[in-house]
Chains A and B, each alone.
Chain A
Amino acid sequence: MNGNHETLALLLFSAFIAVTLAITTWVSRNRRGSAEEFYAGGRLFSPMENGFAIAGDYMSAASFLGISGLIALFGYDGMLYSVGFLVAWLVVLLLVAELVRNCGRFTLADVVAARMAERPVRIAAGTSSVTVSVLYLVAQMVGAGSLVALLLGGTSGAARSWTVIGVGALMVIYVSLGGMRATTWIQIVKAVVLMAGAVVLTVLVLVRFHGDFNALLDSAAERSGHGSRFLAPGLRYGGTWTARIDFISLGLALVLGTAGLPHILSRFYTVPTARAARRSVVWSIGLIGSFYLMTIALGFGAAALVGSAEVRASNSAGNTAVPLLALVLGGGEGSTGGTVLFAVVAAVAFATILAVVAGITLASSASVAHDLYASLRRPGAKQYSEVAVARVAAAVIGVSAIGLGLVAQDLNVAFLVGLAFAVAASANLPVLLYSLFWRNFTTRGAVWSVYGGLIPAVLLVLLSPVVSGSPDSLFPGADFQLFPLENPGLVSIPLGFLAGWAGTVTSTDPPDEAKHAETEVRALTGAGAV
């Protein structure tokens, strides 16, 4: 690695920061400082703008770096992420987007609290939203760290840590100054840049193989060292039955998790109507689907052109497969083409991380200020405005995510995101679906459903091989592993649904029929929506 691509990448990256900071300043020039403005950007984005922003929020570093890396290392088994991440959007489109837009104002808790006793429900839903967001943030921070390690050559620990800190700090500034409006524009710019980068690389890969997908797969299988097993399921999740069940658990978490992600739900509030929310999801499914198709080509391309062994040598989790692929596609190390492409990819990946971090930070600060602070504040205490609290919360969440990101540096990014999805699917999705569709759902059911999914999901992760008891875990020295699976989804998602049901049937208060009628009418017609 020579110094040229570093300079160029840093230059491109600085340009992105300059552009986004300019956007932040521009959109906040006559900001009114209202909650409507800070959390929902005034609700006046068009479906196309919001569709790009959703795609920008969703196509994280985990997808661009992590999934391609997993495919480069494990072939077909990495593809599960691509498929799961896309199919998940059908849940969002069919069951969640329009109804949530009609019923809520800023957060997930708004939808549930409309039918239930407000305080306990808000505290529960706010807590789980913040947990999911922090887990997801850590994944993005780890992505930023491993990218920089590659960029600066070697694994300079200090450079890595400073990048994580820098990315976090920058995002806190964007979010607390610009709110949703600035965040949305950053997502849109990033989505365009990322799609363009992916298209260029995919075209280059296909041109290398003269458009012959078969030849691409063939040489990927050959260079991977696994032969045709590389193209069939089982390389990573094939051996023991524990590994196989882990695969199913991950698959379940991926497809059900998206609809419970707080930063995705909050995007539906930035458009004026449910109909616009639906059209923005259609836009984003088009963008996200084509993007994940490209990550498959890029992953197999990296296996074919770089080789699985070299990818693993650079980063054992595979996070650096795409930048390495770019270097080879441009003409190899030291060539001008390679240098330029490598720098572009590195800058795109940075932009991706920044934008996603901004989105999550904003959503979780909304949960803290709108749900937790508003419910937990002592009645007599001095009242701060909700937006001021949200700004402070953004800073606090940013700092904690930076800290955790520094600890978790050696885990695969896509895998970490899988955990965040599992928690979202266990704690947020059951309560959301029950509130929207179940006539007899009660306050106790809602509270039980959130904690009944959240606590098992978090506990099972702590007791899993991810945290202790295996050489690859977070604390390889300790061993308090009791749960065999890496992803808790298979157990904790049913538990979340079960707890919601149990809480409801054991409830002493009868369900509120009038509130249910109101929720149902508002959800399907949009009457009274803000």
Chain B
Amino acid sequence: MRHDDPWYDEPASGRGEPDGTGSFAPTGPPGPVNPRRGHSAADIYMEVQRSEAFQEVRRRYRRFVVPATIGFLVWYLVYVVAAVTAPGLMARPLAGVVNVAMVAGLGQFLTAFLLTGAYARHARLRRDRAALDLRWQTQEMTRGAGR
């Protein structure tokens, strides 16, 4: 999948190292025609942040991540707190010597695997393409912009 993961030589907003970190080849001189001349990088980022396309990416990310995070944290905390407040319930045997606590513990493993799969799928299908388009657009706009 390297085709959509290319390197890009736009420096991050971190400081440039004076001691030769070497790998940031400075971008070539900005082309003669720059439709956004006069915009600073800060303006461009604010503009992108307000754009409908970005809001959509952010909405999709948050709509998945917020409920999922609350869900698995609550499920985990219930599991931990139940162990100390309801040891009788947790010790109740279900099949042979396998008890509620053991099943809940293995259930944690199962839900972790399932959520991982669901998140990876959601990000791949619903977010990656749009985010990548925005990345190119933003970098195209910031190229040559004053910082």
Contact = CB atoms under 8 A, between A and B. Distances in A.
Is B one of A's binding partners? yes
A251 interface: yes
A89 B87 contact: no
Interface stretch (A78-86, A170-178, A328-336, A449-457): A78-86
Contacts of A275: 1, 4-5, 128
Nearest to B43: A514
A217 B106 CA distance: 14
Nearest to A529: B12
A107 to B, nearest CB: 10
A233 B120 contact: no
Given A279-B120, A528-B11, A34 B21 contact: yes
A392 interface: no
Interface string A350-386: 0000000000000000000000000000000001111
A247 B84 contact: yes
Contacts of A237: 83-84
A410 interface: no
Interface stretch (A19-27, A413-421, A518-526): A518-526
Contact of A34 (B22, B48, B49, B83): B22
Interface stretch (A91-99, A154-162, A497-505): A91-99
A22 to B, nearest CB: 27
B57 A524 contact: yes
Nearest to B136: A527
A387 B68 CA distance: 40
Given A238-B87, A293-B109, A529 B99 contact: no
Contacts of B1: 275
Given A217-B98, A228-B91, A94 B65 contact: yes
Contacts of A77: 83
Contacts of B22: 32, 34, 36
Nearest to B76: A87
Contacts of A383: 18-19
Contacts of A232: 87, 90-91, 99, 101
Contact of B73 (A76, A110, A255, A285): A255
Interface in B90-118: 90-91, 93, 95-99, 101-102, 105-106, 108-109, 112-113, 115-117
A517 interface: yes
A144 B61 CA distance: 43
B15 interface: yes
Contacts of A213: 98
A190 interface: no
B101 A529 contact: no
A7 B77 CA distance: 47
Contacts of B113: 285-286, 289
Contact of A385 (B20, B57, B98, B101): B20
B101 A233 contact: yes
A475 B23 CA distance: 50
Contacts of A520: 49, 58
A282 interface: yes
10 contacts: A35-B21, A84-B80, A86-B109, A248-B81, A273-B5, A383-B19, A386-B21, A525-B135, A525-B138, A528-B10
Interface of A: 32, 34-36, 76-77, 79-80, 82-84, 86-87, 89-91, 93-95, 98, 104-105, 110, 113-114, 118, 213-214, 217-218, 221, 228-229, 231-234, 237-238, 244-245, 247-248, 251-252, 255, 272-273, 275-276, 278-279, 282, 285-286, 289, 292-293, 296, 383-387, 513-515, 517-518, 520-522, 524-530
Given A517-B49, A527-B139, 12 more contacts: A83-B105, A83-B109, A218-B97, A232-B87, A233-B91, A234-B83, A247-B84, A251-B76, A255-B73, A518-B41, A524-B131, A527-B134
